[in-house]
Structure 1
Amino acid sequence: MFDLDRWREIFQSISKNKLRSILSGFTVAFAILLFTLLFGIGNGLQNTFKKEFAGDAINSMYVWSNRTTKAYKGNQIGRRIQFRNDDFEFIKEKFADKLQMISPRIQRGVKVVYKTKEDNYTLRGVYPKYDLLESATVTEGRFLNYRDIKERSKVVVIGRMVEKDLFGQLSAYGKLINIGGIMYRVIGVFSDPGGDSDERYIYAPFTTLQRIYGNNDHIDEFGMMYNPKLSVDQAIVFGNQLRKALKIKHEVAPNDQRGIRINNYASDNKQVSSMMFGLGILILIIGFGTLIAGVVGISNIMVYIVKERTKELGIRKAIGATPKSIVMMIMLEAIIITALSGYIGLSIGVGILEVVGPSLKQYFILNPGVSTPVVVGATITLILSGMLAGYLPAKRAARIKPIVALRAD
C-alpha cells in the first residue's frame, strides 16, 4: 500500500495518459459539483424557512382582536372587540393544561431619549417569561419579574440595537432613559435571533403601561406558548378551541373571521414541515440521481481503461507482476483520480455557492451551503464505486494468461 515504487508507477501512468485521466476525473468532478449545488440550494431554502420562525418560539400563538364583520345577537357590524384583564384570567383558567405560558401585551410607538441621543422605538408592556416567546436571550442584567408587575415598576429591558443606537459602546445597564416623557431604568439588554428589527423593541411591565396609557384594564393582544407535549394536530385543535371560546365570550358570530384573530405557529409549522420534507425528498432524488450518473460514468470509464490496458497488464505479468499487484495498482489509480476530482468538484461547487449566494436572496434562498459530511459521503461513494468498477475488470484481466493478453488488440 505504501510502496514508493508503486506510487511512482501510478503517477507516471496517470501523467502519461492525461486524456484518459482527465475524462475519468471530469465525470467525478461534475457529479460532485452538481451534487454540491443541489444540496446547497436546498439548504438555502431550508434556511429561509428557519429564519421566518427564528424570531419566535416554535410553539407560539398570538391572539388579537379586530372589528366584527357580521351582526350577531343584536350587535352591529363593525363593533370593535376589546380584550380586558378578565380575558387573561379566562384563558388561563379554561386552558391551563394546554398552556406553557401566556402574557398579555400592550404596544405603543414611543420616542426614547438618553442625554443628547434620541430615536423612535416600539414599547411593549408584557409579563415575565415573554422573552421565551420571542426566543430572546438576556445578555446583560435580567428580564422582567413578577415583582415588577406587582409594583408597576418603571423599568425596561431594551434590545441590543437600542443600546447600540443610544449608548454606543457603553453599557445601558442601570441607566435612566426618557420614554415618552417618563423616566425608566434599564434593568436588562437582550439579543434576538430574529435580527436587528427584533432587537429594537423595549419591554416594560404590562401593569405599568396599562396604567400610564389609559389607566384602564385594556389589553391589545395575547402572546402564549402552548404545551410542548401537544402534537401539532392537538395544538391546531387548541387554537380553534381558544378562538371559539373567545368568540362566545365576546358574542362574535361563529363565521366571522375577523372579529378575533389567531396566528398559531402549529399550523405554519405543519405546512412548512410538509414543504421541507417534500423539498428534502426531491433534492435527495435529484442529488442521488446525479450521483448514480457519476457512478455509472466512472464505472464505464474504468471498464474501458482496463480493457485498453490489457496488453500492458499482460506484459507486467510476463515480467513477474502478481495478479494482486496488478489489481492493487488499478484500484489505487482509480482512488487517486476519484478523490482528487471529487475535491476539485467540491471546491468549485462551494466557490460558486459563495459567489452567487448573496444574489439568491431575492429567490428566497438564504446562505446556500452544504455540510462537509454530506459531500464527503458522496465523494466516498464515488471512490468506492471507482474501486469496484476498477476491481472487477482488473480481476478478470489479472487472470488472463500473459500470452493471451499480449495478443489483445
Structure 2
Amino acid sequence: MFDRDRWGEIFEAIGKNKLRTFLSGFTVALGILIFTILLGLGNGLLNSFLSSFVDDAQNIIFIRGGNTSKAYKGFQENRRIQFKNEDFEFIKSNYIGKVEFATPRIYRNGSAKYKKESGSYSIRAVHPDHQYLEKTIMMNGRYLNESDINERTKNIVIGRLVEKDLFKNEKALGKMLNVDGIAYKIIGVFQDSGGDNEERIIYMPYKTVQLLYGNNDHIDQINLSYNMAMSTEQAIAFSKKIEEDLKEKFKVAPDDQSAIRVRSFAEDIKETMVILGGIYMIIFVVGIGTLISGVIGIGNIMTFSVKERTKELGIRKALGASPRSIIAMVLQESVLITSVAGYLGLILGILALKLIGNNLEEFFILNPKVDTGIIMTATLVLIFFGLLAGYIPARRAAKIKPIIALRDE
C-alpha cells in the first residue's frame, strides 16, 4: 500500500492520461456535490419548519371560536361561538391527566406611556400557565400567578423591548406603567426567542382585563399543552376529541368546520414529516443515482485504462509481477481518484451551502446545512463502490498473458 515505486507508477499513469483522470474524477465530485447540496436544502426545509416552534411548546393545541356555517338543532347558521371562562374551566376539569398546561387568551392593542415616552403594544390577557406554553423567559422579577388572576390585580409583565422603548436606561421592574389611562405595576420583564414582535407584548391577568375592558367573562382563544407521554397519533386523536366535545357543548354540527377550530402541532408535525419524508426520498434517489453514475464512470474509465495499458501490464507480468500486485495497482489508482474527487465534491458542496446561507428564506429554506458525518459516510461508501468498480478491470488486467499482451498494438 505504501510502496513508493508503485505510487510513482500510479501518478505517472495519471499524468499521462490527464483527460481520462479528470473525467473520471469529475463524475465522482459532481455526484457528491449534488448529493451534499440536495441534502442541505432538505435540511433547510426542516429547519424552516422547526423555527415555527421556537417560541411555542411543541405539544401545544390552539382552540378558536368562529361562526357556524350551518343550522343545527334549532340554531341558525352564522351564529357566533364565544368562549367564556366556564369553557376554560371545562377544558381544565374534563381532561385531567391529558392536559399539562392551559390558558385563555384575550387579545387587545393598547397605548402605553411612561413619563415622556409612549408607544402602541399588543396586550395579551392570560393565565399563569401561559409562560410554559409560550416559552417565556423571565429576565427580571416574576410572571403572573394565581393570586393575580383571582384578585384581579393590576400587575403586568412586559417584554424586553417594551422596557427598552419606554424606560430607556432605567429598570422597569417595580415601576408604574400607564396603559390606556390605567396605572399598572410592572412585576416582571421577559425575553422571547420568537423575535421582536414577541418582545413587544404586555401580559396581564385575564380576569383583570375582563373586568376593566368590558366587565364580562369573554375569551378569544384557549391554548393548552397535552401530556408528552402521548404519541403523535394519540395527540391528534385527543385534539379531535376536544373538538367533538366542544361542538356538542355549543350545539354545533359535527361536520361544521368553521365554528370551532382546534389545531394541534402534532397534526402539523405529522403532515410536515410526511412531506419532508417524500422530499428526502427524492433527494436520496437522485443523490444515489448521481453517485452510482460516478461509480459507473470510474468502472468504465478503469476498464479503458486497463485496455490502453495492455502491453505495459504484459511486460510487468513477463518481468515477474504477480497478479495480486497488478490488481492492487489498478485498485489503488481507482481509490485514489475516487477519494480525491469525492472529498473535493464534499468541500465544494459545503462551500456552496455556506454561500447560499439564508438567501432562500422566501422558499422556506432556512440555514441549509449538512451533517458532515453523513456526507463523509456517503463519500466512504462511494470510495468503497469505486473499489468494487475498479476490481473487475483489475481482475481482467491480472489475467493478461504476457505473450498476448506483447502482440497487442
User: Fold conserved (TM > 0.5)?
Assistant: yes
Quote the Cα distance in structure 1 between the aligned partners of 2:217 and 2:291.
64
Q: Tell me which residue corresponds to 1:97.
A: 97
**1:178 to partner: Cα distance:** 3.7
Quote the Cα distance in structure 2 between the aligned partners of 1:32 and 1:300.
19
AA partner of residue 133 (structure 1): L
1:54-73 per-position Cα deviation (integer Å, ceiling 9, x unaligned): 44323211112233344455
Is 1:140–1:190's contact at 8 Å kept on the other side of the alignment? no
Q: Tell me which residue corresponds to 1:190.
A: 191
Structure 2: gaps of 5 or more residues: none
Q: What are the equivalent positions in structure 2 for 1:229-248 lying under 5 Å apart?
A: 229-248=229-248
Q: Tell me which residue corresponds to 2:259.
A: 259
Q: Tell me which residue corresponds to 1:397.
A: 397
Quote the Cα distance in structure 1 between the aligned partners of 2:140 and 2:314.
76
Quote the Cα distance in structure 1 between the aligned partners of 2:334 and 2:168.
59
Cα RMSD (Å): 2.9
Q: Tell me which residue corresponds to 1:14.
A: 14
Q: Tell me which residue corresponds to 1:209.
A: 209
Quote the Cα distance in structure 2 between the aligned partners of 1:150 and 1:143.
15
Q: Relative to structure 2, which stretch is displaced further, 358-367 or 291-300?
A: 358-367
State yes or no: 1:2 paired with 2:2.
yes
Q: What are the equivalent positions in structure 2 for 1:147-226 lying under 5 Å apart?
A: 147-166=147-166, 176-181=176-181, 182-192=183-193, 194-226=194-226
**1:136 to partner: Cα distance:** 4.1
Indicate the percent of aligned positions where both proteins have the same amino acid. 50
1:17-36 per-position Cα deviation (integer Å, ceiling 9, x unaligned): 21121011111011112212
Is 2:35–2:283's contact at 8 Å kept on the other side of the alignment? no
AA partner of residue 49 (structure 1): F
The TM-score, its normalising length taken from structure 1, stands at 0.87
AA partner of residue 192 (structure 2): S
Is 1:29–1:346's contact at 8 Å kept on the other side of the alignment? yes
Q: Tell me which residue corresponds to 1:342.
A: 342
Please state whether the residue corresponding to 2:97 is helix, strand or coil: helix
**1:141 to partner: Cα distance:** 4.8
Q: Tell me which residue corresponds to 1:282.
A: 282
1:145-193 per-position Cα deviation (integer Å, ceiling 9, x unaligned): 334434444444444444554466876555554433423314232222x
Q: Tell me which residue corresponds to 2:352.
A: 352
Quote the Cα distance in structure 1 between the aligned partners of 2:352 and 2:234.
44
Quote the Cα distance in structure 2 between the aligned partners of 1:142 and 1:408.
89
Q: Tell me which residue corresponds to 2:294.
A: 294
Please state whether the residue corresponding to 2:51 is helix, strand or coil: helix
Q: Tell me which residue corresponds to 1:52.
A: 52
AA partner of residue 313 (structure 1): L
Quote the Cα distance in structure 1 between the aligned partners of 2:158 and 2:227.
28
Quote the Cα distance in structure 1 between the aligned partners of 2:26 and 2:372.
21
AA partner of residue 291 (structure 2): L
AA partner of residue 128 (structure 2): P
Is 2:27–2:294's contact at 8 Å kept on the other side of the alignment? yes
Quote the Cα distance in structure 1 between the aligned partners of 2:256 and 2:156.
37
AA partner of residue 102 (structure 2): I
**1:198 to partner: Cα distance:** 3.1
Quote the Cα distance in structure 1 between the aligned partners of 2:34 and 2:180.
57
**1:295 to partner: Cα distance:** 1.6
The 1:19/1:256 distance shift into structure 2, 3 A limit, reads: closer
Q: Kindly tell me the number of residue pairs found equivalent between the two proteins.
A: 408
AA partner of residue 211 (structure 2): R
**1:15 to partner: Cα distance:** 2.5
Please state whether the residue corresponding to 1:96 is helix, strand or coil: coil
Quote the Cα distance in structure 2 between the aligned partners of 1:341 and 1:151.
71
Is 2:24–2:294's contact at 8 Å kept on the other side of the alignment? no
Q: Tell me which residue corresponds to 1:129.
A: 129
Q: Relative to structure 2, which stretch is displaced further, 163-172 or 210-219?
A: 163-172
Quote the Cα distance in structure 2 between the aligned partners of 1:61 and 1:43.
26
**1:319 to partner: Cα distance:** 4.2
Please state whether the residue corresponding to 2:224 is helix, strand or coil: strand
Q: Relative to structure 2, which stretch is displaced further, 3-12 or 30-39?
A: 3-12
Quote the Cα distance in structure 2 between the aligned partners of 1:176 and 1:286.
62
AA partner of residue 250 (structure 2): H
Is 2:42–2:276's contact at 8 Å kept on the other side of the alignment? no
**1:324 to partner: Cα distance:** 3.7
The 1:389/1:69 distance shift into structure 2, 3 A limit, reads: closer
The TM-score, its normalising length taken from structure 2, stands at 0.87
Q: Tell me which residue corresponds to 1:84.
A: 84
Quote the Cα distance in structure 1 between the aligned partners of 2:84 and 2:400.
92
Quote the Cα distance in structure 1 between the aligned partners of 2:212 and 2:15.
82
AA partner of residue 184 (structure 2): M
AA partner of residue 394 (structure 2): A
**1:110 to partner: Cα distance:** 1.8
Q: Tell me which residue corresponds to 1:32.
A: 32
Q: Tell me which residue corresponds to 2:373.
A: 373
